[in-house]
């Protein structure tokens, strides 16, 4: 019998998805895809890693009979206009988890992550924010960007709008929401709330460590060289390598570093004003008080 995913963590990026997937992978009833973000169902994006059903389903070959929950997590599914429809066509009874965060904090973290990965090349968060209009026209897109839509931070971080769209497609009993601030305060409670949503036995973990913390490249130019080198290999049809680039890239990382705290404070007021109405929408949809996000 073919093993297929029935539980999808669909976003949002930089909202604690990596930590949650790590916690879920430790439950005996849950099988998690060995590739964290296959991004198979967001067919309206060029930010994808699997393109055929057979190769995608091969990710779940190692699932065992005890795994009642077969899970994958692709953080750009919520942002996609097609991913949820594609998932429901694949599995009408699929369950969904959505991780959420204050969009102001999300923007800064997302900008830093895209800068780290090479999709962004503007080190200044303020300049990257101002570049959105120009980039929407197709200008000033970094050569290493996997999809220019990822650089439209106003849309990518508009979680209220995305959640409203998701709720028009997914049955209320099949979708669950977790806020990153809740996860930080009481990870054991939140984790077991997710297990209860999945209708599997509760479990407490020995540790709820943070996975995928903020990170930066120590030497950005070196990172860009390897991005261009990788793209050249793909264009020439060259697969595999000697692992030297991967080894160097792993050492070219600083963790828990902020880019520019002064610039961040100056931009926060503009971002809070921009996302205010979207946060209000999210409050209504979730029936939660998010005053601390608006202030």
Per-residue DSSP letter, 96 = E
pTM of the model: 0.85
Q: Is 97 helix (H, G, I), strand (E, B) or coil?
A: strand
pLDDT of residue 295: 84
Strands 253-255 and 215-217: antiparallel
pLDDT of residue 101: 98
pLDDT of residue 234: 46
Sign of CA dihedral 29, 93, 158, 295: negative
What residue ranges of the chain have pLDDT lower than 70? 1-2, 212-261
Sign of CA dihedral 20, 22, 26, 32: positive
pLDDT of residue 194: 98
Question: What is the layout of strands, in order, in the sheet containing 95-100?
Answer: 30-32, 69-73, 7-9, 95-100, 175-179
pLDDT of residue 215: 47
Burial class of residue 240 in the structure, from the number of CB atoms within 10 Å of its CB (0-12 exposed, 13-18 middle, 19+ buried): exposed
Torsions phi, psi for 242 (to 5 deg): -95, 0
pLDDT of residue 235: 47
- Nearest Cα residue to 3 out of 50, 63, 51, 52: 63
Alpha carbon distance 281, 229 (integer Å): 44
For the stretch 2-14, pLDDT in tens is: 589 999 999 999 9
For the stretch 20-29, pLDDT in tens is: 999 999 999 9
Q: Is 281 helix (H, G, I), strand (E, B) or coil?
A: helix
- Burial call 157-179: b when 16+ CB within 10 Å, e when fewer: bbbbebbeebeeebeeeebbbbb
The domain 7-214+258-294: what is its CATH number? 3.40.50.300
């Amino acid at each position: 019998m073919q093993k297929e995913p029935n539980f999808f963590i669909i976003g949002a990026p930089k909202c604690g998805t990596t930590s949650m997937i790590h916690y879920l992978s430790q439950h005996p009833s849950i099988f998690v895809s060995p590739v964290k973000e296959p991004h198979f169902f967001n067919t309206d994006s060029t930010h994808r890693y699997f393109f055929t059903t057979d190769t995608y389903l091969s990710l779940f070959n190692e699932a065992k009979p005890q795994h009642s929950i077969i899970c994958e997590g692709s953080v750009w599914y919520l942002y996609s206009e097609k991913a949820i429809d594609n998932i429901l066509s694949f599995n009408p009874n699929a369950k969904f988890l959505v991780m959420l965060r204050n969009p102001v904090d999300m923007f800064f973290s997302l900008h830093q992550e895209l800068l780290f990965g090479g999709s962004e090349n503007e080190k200044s968060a303020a300049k990257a924010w101002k570049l959105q209009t120009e980039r929407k026209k197709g200008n000033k897109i970094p050569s290493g960007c996997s999809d220019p839509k990822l650089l439209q931070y106003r849309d990518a971080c508009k979680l209220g709008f995305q959640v409203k769209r998701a709720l028009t497609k997914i049955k209320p009993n099949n979708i669950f929401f977790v806020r990153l601030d809740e996860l930080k305060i009481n990870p054991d409670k939140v984790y077991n709330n997710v297990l209860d949503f999945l209708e599997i036995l509760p479990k407490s973990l020995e540790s709820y460590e943070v996975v995928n913390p903020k990170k930066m490249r120590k030497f950005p130019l070196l990172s860009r060289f390897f991005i261009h080198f990788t793209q050249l290999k793909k264009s020439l049809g060259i697969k595999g390598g000697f692992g030297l680039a991967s080894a160097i890239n792993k050492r070219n990382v600083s963790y828990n570093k902020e880019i520019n705290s002064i610039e961040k404070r100056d931009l926060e007021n503009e971002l809070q004003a921009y996302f205010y109405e979207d946060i209000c929408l999210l409050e209504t949809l979730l029936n939660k008080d998010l005053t601390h996000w608006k202030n």
